[in-house]
Copies of this chain bind each other. A is one copy, B any other.
Amino acid sequence: MKNIGLLGLGTVGSGIIEILEIRKEEIKNLTGHDIRIKKVLVRDLNKKRDIILEPDLLTTNYDEILSDEEIDIIVEVTGDLEMSYKYISDALTRRKHVVTANKAVVSKYFEKLLSLAADNNVAFLYEASVGGGIPVLKPLKEALFLNEITEVQGILNGTCNYILTRMIDEGRNYEDVLRNAQELGYAEVDPTADIEGHDTLRKLRILATLAFQGQIREEDILLNGISTITSYDIDYIKNMNSTVKLIGEAKIVEDGFTAVVQPTIIKNSNYFANVNMAYNSVAFKGNNVGELKFYGAGAGKLPTANAVLSDVLDIIMGTYRKGNPLGQRVLKNLNSKIRGKYYLRVSDCNAEIIRTLKRIAEITMSVGSITTIITEEVQLTGLGRLIDDLNIGNDRYFFARILNY
C-alpha cells in the first residue's frame, strides 16, 4: 500500500482521484501496489464538489498530512504559488517525495526545490508543469546524459493557442474569442498570465534551465504577448500563407544563450502551424539524437492528472533517474543577439512614426491610419527600443517575428 497526500481538489485533483479509481486493478497488477489517497488538503471542508469522497479524507490542516508517517508521497495541485512553495519545501524537508503540476512554483523556486529534494534524498517531479499531458520533461532529462541540447522551443500555452487558432480559422476578433474561451473554461477570468505570455515564459524557463544545464531565470527571457493582436493582423498574416503562434524559444549561442517568448508568424507548411486549439508542442535538439518534437494536450483534467500520476508511478517503482538534474553551467545572456524579420502594425499612426518605421522597413503598407511594416532583419531589443522611443502606446501596436520556413 502506497499512501498519497493530495493537496488541492480542483480540476486536476479530481482527475487524479478519477484515474486512480478506474485504473485500480491495472496499477495493482503492474506495480504490485495499491495506491491510496489517504488525505486531501482543501480550503473549505463544506464546499460542494462533483466528486464524492469519505468526509474524513478531507482536511484543512496540512500538518495532519505532513506528520502522517504512512504518507510518503505528496501530490501538489493547488495552483497557489506561495502556499504551494511552503507545502512542497516542508514536505521535502520531511523526506516525503513530491509531485507537482504547478509551473509557477517550479519556475520561481526550481533550483531551491531540486536541491532540497537532493539533500533529503527524495524525488521532486513536475512533468505536468510543462506541456500538460505531454511526456516531455522525462525524455529531455534522459537526453541530457547523451546529448548537448542546443535548442528548445514550443507552443506552451493552450489558452493563447486556442485564441489564435480560432481567430485564424474563423476570422473572429480577439475579444470575442477570448470571451468564448473564458465561457468554455479554456481561459481564466483574469487571462493576463496566459495572453501576456507569462505562463509560456515560466515553462520556457523550466525547459531551458534543464536543457542547457545552467540557470535561465524568468528575467532572462524577453517577453511579448498576444493581447494586442487584431483581426487586421490576422488577415495580413493569412495573406502571407501563414499563421501565428505564441512560441517560446531558447538557444545556445556562442558562450551564452538567447531566450524569448514572442508571437511568431510561420508558414502553413511549418510543423508548428498544425499545432492547433488547446494543443501544445515542445521541441528540442540534441547533438546526437537530432530534433525531437512532442505533441499533445497542453492542459485539461485527465491529461494533466495522467502526467502527475506517471510521476507518482515512477516514484513508487523507483524508475525515475535519481540525482539533481540541474547543471552548473554559467551562460551569458545574449538576447541582444536575437535578430530577425518582424511584422509590426501600428494603429493611429502619424507621419513621424511612419517616417521612422520606413528606415527599417522592407515593405510598408498604410491603410487609413493603420501602418504595417515588414522589417528588414533587425535586432529584437533595438526594435523594442524604437517602439518605446516613438511613444506608441501599448495598445496601439502588435509585432511578431516572421519565420521563413
Q: Name A residues whose Cβ lies closer than 8 Å to a Cβ of B.
A: 19, 23, 26-27, 30-31, 133-135, 138-139, 142-147, 268-271, 273-275, 283, 286-297, 300, 302-303, 305-307, 309-310, 313, 317-323
Contacts and interface: CB of A to CB of B under 8 A. Distances in A.
Given A146-B23, A269-B268, A323-B30, A288 B302 contact: yes
A288 B19 contact: yes
B292 A293 contact: no
A31 B145 contact: yes
B317 A289 contact: no
Given A26-B145, A293-B294, A318-B318, A288 B270 contact: no
A297 B291 contact: yes
A305 B288 CA distance: 8
Nearest to A305: B288
A285 to B, nearest CB: 10
A289 B270 contact: no
A156 B102 CA distance: 35
Given A296-B289, A319-B320, A30 B145 contact: yes
Contacts of A302: 287-290
A346 to B, nearest CB: 31
Contacts of A295: 271, 283, 291-295
Interface of A, secondary structure class, is mixed
A290 to B, nearest CB: 4
Given A135-B142, A145-B23, A322-B317, A293 B296 contact: yes
A286 B306 contact: yes
Nearest to A323: B30
Given A19-B288, A289-B306, A291-B296, A142 B323 contact: no
A274 B283 CA distance: 14
Contacts of A323: 30
A357 B255 CA distance: 65
Most chain B beta-carbon neighbours within 10 Å: one of A270, A288, A300: A288
B322 A303 contact: no
Nearest to A325: B30
Contacts of A296: 289-293
Contacts of A306: 143, 146-147, 286, 288-289
B303 A290 contact: yes
A292 B289 contact: no
A144 B321 CA distance: 20
A394 to B, nearest CB: 34
Contacts of A147: 23, 306
B288 A303 contact: yes
16 contacts: A26-B145, A27-B145, A135-B139, A135-B143, A135-B292, A146-B306, A268-B269, A270-B274, A273-B274, A288-B306, A290-B296, A291-B296, A292-B294, A293-B295, A317-B321, A318-B318
Given A145-B27, A268-B268, A303 B317 contact: no
A47 B275 CA distance: 48
Nearest to A279: B291
Which residue among A135, A275, A287, A307 has the maximum number of chain B CB atoms within 10 Å of its CB?
Answer: A135
